[in-house]
Homo-oligomer: A and B are copies of this chain.
Amino acid sequence: MRIGELARRTGVNQRLLRYYEEQGLLRPVRRPSGYREYGDADVEQVRRIRTLLAAGLNTTTIADVLPCTADTGNGLAAACPDLLTDLRRERDRISRSIAELHTARTMLDAIIEATSH
């Protein structure tokens, strides 16, 4: 599919899809015309990117992580070496973030509860 369809199917702006490619997160094939040609798998890939971005990872880190995600699902554990340290750090950061969000939500809930009595 071309970029327009991918944008439609993922809800992600074309500008961003190009940006993700620039950052090495997507590798569409090029037609003779120069048009980008994406595969069906890229729909899932974009979802993963969005999830990791939402989790606070930057595109550089995601670029390191993505090659691994493809494998882990299948059972084929790729050789993803020393970025393990980074991954653990990210995971811990996410855990802290989740805890913080819980605190914040509890706070809001208390206000909502008290206000709407």
Contacts and interface: CB of A to CB of B under 8 A. Distances in A.
Interface of A: 48, 51-52, 54-55, 57, 65, 68-69, 71-73, 77-78, 80-81, 84, 87-88, 90-91, 94-95, 97-98, 100-105, 107-117
A105 B100 contact: no
A106 to B, nearest CB: 10
B54 A117 contact: no
Contacts of A71: 114
A68 B51 CA distance: 33
A76 to B, nearest CB: 9
26 contacts: A48-B107, A51-B107, A54-B101, A55-B100, A55-B105, A57-B104, A65-B111, A68-B111, A69-B107, A72-B111, A72-B114, A77-B117, A78-B114, A78-B115, A80-B111, A84-B116, A87-B108, A87-B112, A91-B108, A91-B109, A94-B104, A95-B105, A97-B101, A98-B98, A98-B101, A98-B102
